Amino acid sequence: MSEGEQIDADTSAQAHRFAKVHRRAEPPLTVANLLLLLFAVASAATGQLMLKYGMTGAAESVTRSGGTLLLKAATSPWVIGGLVVFGVSALAWLTTLSRVPLSVAYPFNALGLLAIVGSSAVILHERVTPMAWLGVLLVVGGLIIVVLSRSST
């Protein structure tokens, strides 16, 4: 082994030891962290629904009586409330990320997808096709697989 190869091998071994020593232990998904994560996802979905409802109303108001969409949206209680709820969800999400590995937290957004698609059909009376429902179920199935694989390691 040449001197250069030996230095590369030593550097690689040191880097491996550093990574092994400095690897952060991933905290378990506690009940409190799970509840915070679910709150972040649910409030994000709620905020999105409020924004959609408010923007639909603002667009209808512009069509009916004129004006600018931006002004109607900026004065809509539903849009303002949706932004506030969405902001709260962002703070909850940031707190979640400080406590839960991203590889665990992010798949939970699949529940947000389920909540938004379901609520848009029930509350907003939007049409959701069977293929869209199948897609949502596949995504939620993926979430279940990620969570189960996480708990088995």
At 74-90, the pLDDT tens digits run: 999 999 999 999 999 99
Domain of residue 59 covers 29-151
Residue 92 contacts by C-beta under 8 Å, 6 or more apart in sequence? 36, 39, 40, 43
Q: How many degrees, rounded to 5, is the angle at CA 52 between CA 132 and CA 70?
A: 140
Higher pLDDT, 87 or 9: 87
Domain count, the chain: 1
Q: What is the pLDDT of residues 34-72, one digit of tens each?
A: 999 999 999 999 999 999 999 999 999 999 999 999 999
Whether residue 95 is contained in a domain is answered as yes
Q: Each residue of 2-33: b (16+ CB within 10 Å) or e?
A: eeeeeeeeeeeeeeeeeeeeeeeeeeebeeeb
Whether residue 88 is contained in a domain is answered as yes
Neighbours of 84 (CB within 10 A): 12
pTM comes to 0.76
Least confident of 16-20, 89-93, 100-104, 143-147: 16-20
The three-state secondary structure class of 61 is helix
